[in-house]
């Protein structure tokens, strides 16, 4: 029996995806029905002023349970996570937050018989032993980053809770996400966000990846659309649960820089690869998302050209208003 999502808790609501997902869900489900939460005490103004906000440490189940009781939560979008670059600097923190946080959320989902638990995965689940172009839905998962290890374990844990407890848990393997509203928090794909800000503000960018590093990417509006579409999909149509490949575009820094130069001709880019190059080299260049397209009609709206035009327009307006 499909349970309706009515009262939603978002963890990691101050993050790059969480902050925009909160606003999108509030628009769709009513602000008072979407409780934003994060470990930090100071939410962005847009989050604080548009609905309920609570401080939650996902590694402490009781702090989540208090909100579940207080607001009669029936759905959790679990965005709180340590990303790849920060996770390589502190693997134990990454494991603790990503795995204990996920287990706490899943256990509450079972205990309170929740309608839906959404737990993102990532292209970081892959490593050696898979085709790097058009990486298939079913494939060997041998990540070499701790973040990737937690994402593989997270997918397996979610599927276990689906089959063992009948919990409706769903997830999608996000590519690099690009947005104009909230800066990303310590990922390897962050260059593809930083470059737009630096191009608008300084007309130059020093890239921490090699110029030919092709990675799968997605514009934030498509990321939000994919997340909500999957959450709302009819469970009877789903053959997969926690590990959907989703794709929109793939490009390398050279191609991205050339697209930006169409709007800012004087833009210059330099390359100084750092430790994140090894992480990026372990990931696919493009992925096959036919399962998402077949099972819940996934289809992106943005490509590199339309995303760049929108990003440059929005960031230029923010720069001229003194906001960045």
Catalytic residue ranges: 147
| Distance from C-alpha of 37 to C-alpha of 30, rounded to nearest angstrom | 16
Site string for ligand VAH, 39-78 (x = CB under 6 A): ----------------------------------------
Q: Kindly tell me which of 109 and 184 has the beta carbon lying closer to ligand VAH.
A: 184
| Distance from C-alpha of 286 to C-alpha of 133, rounded to nearest angstrom | 5
Question: Contact region for ligand VAH (CB under 6 A) — 38-46, 105-113, 170-178, 265-273?
Answer: 170-178
Backbone φ and ψ of 78, nearest 5°: -100, 90
Q: Kindly tell me which of 16 and 37 has the beta carbon lying closer to ligand VAH.
A: 16
Under 8 Å between Cβ of 43 and 53: yes
Residue 188, interface with ligand VAH (CB under 6 A)?
Answer: yes
Q: Kindly tell me which of 25 and 124 has the beta carbon lying closer to ligand VAH.
A: 124
Phi/psi zone of residue 275: left (φ > 0), alpha (ψ -120 to 50 degrees), beta? alpha
CB of 182 to ligand VAH, least distance (A): 12
Closest CA to 258 of 205, 184, 317: 205
With a CB cutoff of 8 Å and minimum separation 6, the contacts of 43 are 13, 14, 36, 53
Binds ligand VAH (CB under 6 A): choice among 37, 84, 179, 242: 84
Question: Contact region for ligand VAH (CB under 6 A) — 103-111, 130-138, 181-189, 266-274?
Answer: 181-189
Binds ligand VAH (CB under 6 A): choice among 189, 282, 291, 308: 189
Under 8 Å between Cβ of 226 and 246: yes
Q: Which residue is nearest to ligand VAH (CB)?
A: 187
Distances (CA, A) of 210 to 186, 269, 274, 281: 18, 11, 9, 10
Binds ligand VAH (CB under 6 A): choice among 5, 82, 83, 178: 83
CB of 147 to ligand VAH, least distance (A): 6
The number of C-alpha atoms within 13 Å of 249 and in the hemisphere containing its C-beta is 22
One-character DSSP codes across 108-144: HHHHTT-SEEE--EEGGG--TTS-SSSB-SS-----S
Q: Kindly tell me which of 83 and 228 has the beta carbon lying closer to ligand VAH.
A: 83
State the DSSP H helix or E strand holding residue 221, giving kind and residue range, or none if neither. Answer: helix 220-232
Q: Kindly tell me which of 7 and 151 has the beta carbon lying closer to ligand VAH.
A: 151
Residue 19, interface with ligand VAH (CB under 6 A)?
Answer: no
One-character DSSP codes across 237-248: G-S-SS-EE---
* Widest Cα–Cα separation across the chain: 58
Q: Kindly tell me which of 174 and 298 has the beta carbon lying closer to ligand VAH.
A: 174
Residue 175, interface with ligand VAH (CB under 6 A)?
Answer: yes
Place of tokens 């503000």: 201
Site string for ligand VAH, 138-167 (x = CB under 6 A): ---------x--------------------
CB of 225 to ligand VAH, least distance (A): 17
CB of 279 to ligand VAH, least distance (A): 8
Site string for ligand VAH, 111-130 (x = CB under 6 A): -----------xxx------
Under 8 Å between Cβ of 17 and 120: yes
CB of 28 to ligand VAH, least distance (A): 24
Residue 291, interface with ligand VAH (CB under 6 A)?
Answer: no
- Residues at the site binding ligand VAH, with contacts judged by CB under 6 A: 83-84, 122-124, 147, 174-176, 184, 187-189
């Amino acid at each position: 029996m499909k349970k309706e999502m009515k009262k939603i808790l978002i963890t990691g609501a101050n993050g790059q995806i969480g902050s925009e997902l909160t606003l999108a869900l509030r628009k769709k489900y009513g602000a008072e029905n979407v409780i934003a939460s994060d470990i930090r005490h100071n939410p962005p103004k847009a989050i604080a002023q548009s609905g309920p906000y609570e401080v939650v440490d996902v590694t402490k189940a009781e702090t989540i349970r208090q909100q579940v009781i207080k607001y009669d939560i029936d759905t959790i979008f679990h965005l709180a996570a340590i990303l790849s670059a920060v996770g390589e600097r502190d693997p134990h923190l990454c494991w603790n937050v990503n795995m204990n946080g996920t287990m706490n959320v899943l256990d509450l989902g079972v205990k309170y018989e929740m309608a839906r638990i959404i737990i993102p995965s990532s292209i970081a689940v892959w490593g050696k032993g898979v085709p790097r172009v058009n990486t298939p839905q079913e494939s060997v998962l041998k990540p070499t980053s701790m973040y990737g290890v937690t994402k593989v374990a997270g997918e397996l844990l979610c599927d276990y809770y689906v089959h063992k407890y009948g919990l409706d848990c769903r997830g999608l393997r996000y590519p690099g996400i690009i947005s104009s509203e909230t800066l990303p928090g310590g990922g390897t794909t962050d260059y593809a966000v930083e470059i737009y800000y630096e191009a608008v503000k300084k007309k130059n960018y020093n890239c921490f990846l090699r110029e030919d590093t092709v990675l799968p990417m997605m514009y934030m509006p498509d990321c939000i659309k994919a997340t909500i579409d999957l959450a709302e999909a009819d469970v009877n149509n789903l053959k997969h649960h926690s590990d959907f490949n989703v794709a929109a575009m793939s490009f390398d820094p050279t191609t991205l820089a050339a697209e930006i130069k169409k709007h800012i001709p004087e833009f210059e880019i330099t390359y100084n690869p750092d430790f994140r190059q090894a992480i990026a080299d372990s990931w696919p260049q493009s992925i096959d998302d036919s399962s998402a397209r077949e099972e819940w009609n996934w289809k992106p709206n943005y490509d590199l050209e339309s995303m760049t035009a929108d990003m440059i327009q929005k960031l230029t307006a923010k720069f001229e208003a003194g906001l960045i």
